[in-house]
Amino acid sequence: MSETRKYPRYETEDLLMVFNRETDEHIGGLANLTPEGAMIITREPVEISTTAKCRVELPRVILDCDEFVFDAECVWCKKDTTRGWYESGYRLRNISEQDQDLLTYVMLQLMSEQKVAHNTP
């Protein structure tokens, strides 16, 4: 698979929990983010081209919010044979301006944390 990502991925130290915002069913854990996409770790495979209505719980209140929501279209899915789970790549869709601002803030926080981690002796 060729790399088509325009933006760097921001890894989450702890998986942020992702839920179906209509059913409240647990979908998986948010492993990384870009302004246009995300990777979610799941127990079961995800069918490519399906769209999930996602709600991500934040570890603390950020910009007066404790979660952000978006639609996510699955563009790839593969099994991590060493761990037994599935990694799925998603294209973000239908994200409000407020949630886009929140997503940007979260990515800036992750980027800051990654720089500190990489610069620590």
- Contact assessment for residue 46 and residue 73, using Cβ atoms and an 8 Å cutoff: no
Percent of the chain with pLDDT over 70: 79
The whole-number pLDDT of residue 116 equals 43
Structural domains in the chain? 10-119 (2.40.10.220)
Highest mean pLDDT among 8-22, 28-42, 67-81, 105-119: 67-81
CA distance 104 to 57: 15
Segment 8-66, tens digit of pLDDT: 665 666 678 999 999 999 999 998 888 889 999 999 999 999 999 999 988 888 888 88
Average pLDDT over residues 95-120: 69
The whole-number pLDDT of residue 104 equals 83
Distances (CA, A) of 66 to 58, 59, 103, 107: 5, 7, 12, 15
For 101, list phi and psi in degrees, rounded to 5: -60, -40
Average pLDDT over residues 86-95: 93
